[in-house]
Structure 1
Amino acid sequence: MKKRRIILLWLFAGMLLVPGCTLKNAEASSENQSDTATNSEEQTVKDISEMFTDRDKEIGYDEEDSALITLADNGTLCDSDAVQISENTVTITEEGTYILSGTLSNGMIIVDAEDTDKIQIVLNGVEITSAQSAAIYVRSADKVFLTTASGSDNILTNGGTYTAIDDNNIDAVIFSKDDLTLNGAGTLKIKAEAGHGVVSKDDLVLTSGTYDITAASHGLSGKDSVRILSGTFTITSGKDGIHASNTDDSSLGFVYLADGSFKITAQDDGIHADSSTTILGGEIEIAQSYEGIEGLSIDITGGNISVTASDDGLNAAGGNDSSGFEGTGGDQFAATEGAYIHISGGVIHVNSEGDGIDSNGDLTVSGGETYISGPVNDGNGALDYNGEAVISGGTFVAAGSSGMAQNFGSSSTQGTVLVSVGSQEAGSVVSLQDSDGTELMQWEPDKVYTSVLISCPELTKDSTYTVSAGTYSEEITLDTLIYGSGQMQGGPGNPEQREMKGTPPDMDEGNKQGTPPDRNGENKQGGPGEAGENQGSSSDTGDSM
Structure 2
Amino acid sequence: MNRELVQQSKKKLIAGALAGTMIVSGFGISVLTAEAAEAADGSSKSSAVLLSEKDAQLAVLTQAAAGVKVYSDYTAGTYQQVTLKGDSITFEGTGATVSGSDLLIHAGGTYVLSGTLNDGAIIIDDTADEENVVLVLNNAKITSKDGAPIYVKNSGKNVIISLPEGTDSSVTDGASYTYEYIETSTDSESGETSSQPTAAIFSKDDLRINGSGKLTVNANYKDGIAGKDDVEIAEATLVINAADDGLVGKDSVAIASGSLTIKAGGDGIKSTNSQDTAKGYIAIADGTFDITSGNDGIQAESILLTLDGDYTIKTGDGAAAASKSAKENQNFQGGDRQQMQTPNGTEATRPADRTSSAAMNAAGPRPDNGSKTSKINEQTNANNGNNSTTTTSTGSTSTATEESESIKALKAGTKIAIQGGNFNIDSQDDSIHSNDGIAIADGTFQLASGDDAIHADGILNIYGGDIGITASYEGLEGAQINISGGDIDLVASDDGINVSGGNDSSGFGGFAAGNSGGMTEPATGATAKTSNTSAAAETSVSETTTTTADTNSSAVNSTLHISGGKINVDADGDGIDINGSGYMTGGTVAVNGPTNNGNGGLDYDGVFEVTGGTLVVTGSSGMAQAPSSGSTLNSVATAVTTQAAGTEVKLVSSDGTTVMTFTPEKEFSHVVISSSVIETGKTYKIMAGSTELASFTSDSVVTNLSGGDMAGGFNGGGMGGSPGQQPGNPSKGNMTAPENNGATTTGQ
- Tell me if 1:176 matches 2:271: yes
Aligned residue number for residue 295 of structure 2: 195
Q: 1:517 aligns with which of 707, 722, 726?
A: 726
**Shift of residue 179, structure 1, vs aligned partner:** 1.1
Q: Is the 8 A contact 1:28 1:393 kept in 2?
A: no
Q: How do 1:53-68 and structure 2 match up within 5 A?
A: 53=59, 54-55=62-63, 58=66, 61-64=69-72, 67=134
The Cα shift of 1:513 comes to: 9.0
Higher relative contact order structure (alpha carbons within 8 Å, sequence separation ≥ 6): 1
2:704 paired residue number: 484
Q: Which string of whole-angstrom CA distances, capped at 9 and with x for unpartnered residues, describes residues 340-368 of structure 1?
A: 11111111111000000000011111111
Q: Out of 194-203 and 465-474, give the one that drifted further.
A: 465-474
Instruction: Kindly indicate whether the alpha-carbon contact (under 8 Å) linking 1:28 and 1:366 is maintained by their aligned counterparts in 2.
Output: no
Q: Please report how far the alpha carbon of residue 319 of structure 1 lies from its aligned counterpart in structure 2 after TM superposition.
A: 5.2
Among candidates 202, 209, 228, match of residue 112 of structure 1: 228
Matched with 2:613 is 394
Give the alignment of 1:130-529 within 5 angstroms.
130-131=242-243, 133-139=244-250, 141=251, 143-149=252-258, 152=259, 154-159=260-265, 171-177=266-272, 178-184=280-286, 186-192=287-293, 194-216=294-316, 217-245=407-435, 253-318=436-501, 338-470=557-689, 471-484=691-704, 516-517=725-726
Corresponding position of 2:240:
128
What is the DSSP-based 3-state SS (H/G/I as helix, E as strand, rest coil) of the residue aligned with 2:268? strand
Q: Distance in 2 between matches of 1:262 and 1:403?
A: 34
Aligned partner of 2:726: which letter? P
CA displacement 1:42-65 (0-9 Å, x = unmatched): xxx995512532416627743229
Classify 1:46/1:105 alpha carbon distance in 2 versus 1 (closer, same or farther; 3 Å): closer
Contact 1:269 1:289 in 2 (8 A): yes
Gap regions ≥5 residues in structure 2: 1-26, 41-48, 75-133, 161-170, 174-198, 273-279, 317-406, 504-540, 545-555, 729-748
- 1:384 Cα deviation from its structure 2 partner: 0.4
Shift of 1:258: 0.6
**CA separation of 1:393/1:58 partners in 2, compared to 1, >3 Å: closer, same or farther?**
same
CA contact (8 A) 1:486 1:497 kept: no
Larger radius of gyration: 2
Deviates more, 1:447-456 or 1:489-498: 489-498
Name the counterpart of 1:543: none
Q: Which stretch of structure 1 is more off in the superposition, 297-306 or 18-27?
A: 18-27
Aligned to 1:55, the other structure's residue is in SS state helix
Q: 1:476 to 1:243 in 2, by over 3 A?
A: same
Shift of 1:97: 4.2
Q: Which residue of 1 is the match for residue 97 of structure 2?
A: none
Aligned pair in 2 of structure 1 residues 489, 105: CA closer, same or farther (>3 Å)? farther
In structure 2, how many angstroms separate the alpha carbons of the residues matched to 1:258 and 1:104? Answer: 34
1:74 aligns with 2:143: yes
Q: Determine the C-alpha separation between the residues in 2 that align with 1:78 and 1:473.
A: 75
Aligned 8 A contact 1:28 1:392 in 2: no
Counterparts of 1:8-87 in structure 2 under 5 Å? 21=31, 24=35, 49-51=53-55, 52-53=58-59, 54-55=62-63, 58=66, 61-64=69-72, 67=134, 70=137, 72-74=141-143, 81=155, 82-83=158-159, 87=173
8 Å contact kept, 1:18–1:399: no
Say how many residue pairs are matched: 433
Over the matched positions of the two proteins, sequence identity in percent amounts to: 31
Contact 1:386 1:491 (C-alpha < 8 Å) held by counterparts: no
Supply the AA of the counterpart residue of 1:157.
Answer: K
1:517/1:460 CA distance change after superposition, 3 Å = same
Which runs of no fewer than 5 residues in structure 1 stay unpaired?
1-16, 30-44, 160-170, 246-252, 321-332, 499-511, 520-545
Residues in 2 aligned to 1:174 and 1:497: alpha-carbon distance in whole angstroms: 45
Question: Could you tell which deviates more after superposition, 80-89 or 448-457?
Answer: 80-89
Q: Quick one: distance in 1 between partners of 2:434 and 2:594?
A: 27
CA distance in 1, matches of 2:159, 2:623: 62
- Please tell me the residue identity of whatever aligns with 1:158: A
Q: Distance in 2 between matches of 1:364 and 1:57?
A: 37
Q: Secondary structure at the match of 1:64?
A: coil
Matches of 1:386 and 1:485, distance apart in 2? 21
Corresponding letter in the other structure for 1:180: I
Question: C-alpha distance in 1, partners of 2:713/2:618?
Answer: 24
**1:381-437 Cα distance to aligned partner (Å, 9 max, x none):** 100000111000001001110000101111100000111121101010122122333
| Distance in 2 between residues matched to 1:204 and 1:21, nearest whole Å | 41
CA distance in 1, matches of 2:616, 2:218: 53
The 3-state SS of whatever aligns with 1:367 is coil
Displacement after TM superposition at 1:460 (Å)? 2.1
User: What is the TM-score normalised by the length of structure 1?
Assistant: 0.71
String of CA shifts for 1:162-209, please: whole Å, max 9, x gaps: xxxxxxxxx52212120111231x3110001x2111111100111111
- Distance between the aligned counterparts of 2:604 and 2:585, measured in 1? 16
CA contact (8 A) 1:374 1:399 kept: yes
Q: Distance in 1 between matches of 2:494 and 2:501?
A: 15
Answer yes or no: is the 8 Å Cα contact 1:83–1:90 preserved in 2.
no
Secondary structure of the corresponding residue to residue 72 of structure 2 = helix
- Counterpart Cα distance in 2 of 1:136 and 1:304: 33
User: Does the CA contact (< 8 Å) of 2:151 and 2:201 recur in 1?
Assistant: no
8 Å contact from structure 1 (residues 405, 485) kept in 2? no
SS at match of 1:270: strand
Aligned to 1:34: none
In structure 1, give the amino acid aligned to 2:309. Answer: G
User: What is the TM-score with the length of structure 2 in the denominator?
Assistant: 0.53
User: Any conservation in 2 of the 1:280–1:300 contact (CA below 8 Å)?
Assistant: yes
Partner of 1:11: none
Amino acid at match of 2:464: G
Cα distance in structure 1, aligned partners of 2:723 and 2:228: 51
Of the structure 1 ranges 86-95 and 484-493, higher mean CA displacement relative to structure 2 is found in: 484-493
Q: Is the 8 A contact 2:454 2:477 kept in 1?
A: yes
Encode CA deviations 1:75-119: one digit per residue, 9 max, x unaligned: 767999534999562234445743163101225111212xxxx65
Aligned amino acid, residue 466 of structure 2: E
Q: Distance in 1 between matches of 2:492 and 2:484?
A: 21
2:10 matched residue in structure 1: none
**Alpha-carbon separation, structure 2, partners of 1:479 and 1:243:** 45
Report the AA paired with residue 50 of structure 1.
K
Note if contact 2:626-2:716 (Cα within 8 Å) is conserved in structure 1: no
CA distance in 2, matches of 1:19, 1:395: 9
State the distance in 2 between where 1:109 and 1:22 align.
59
AA aligned opposite 1:214: K
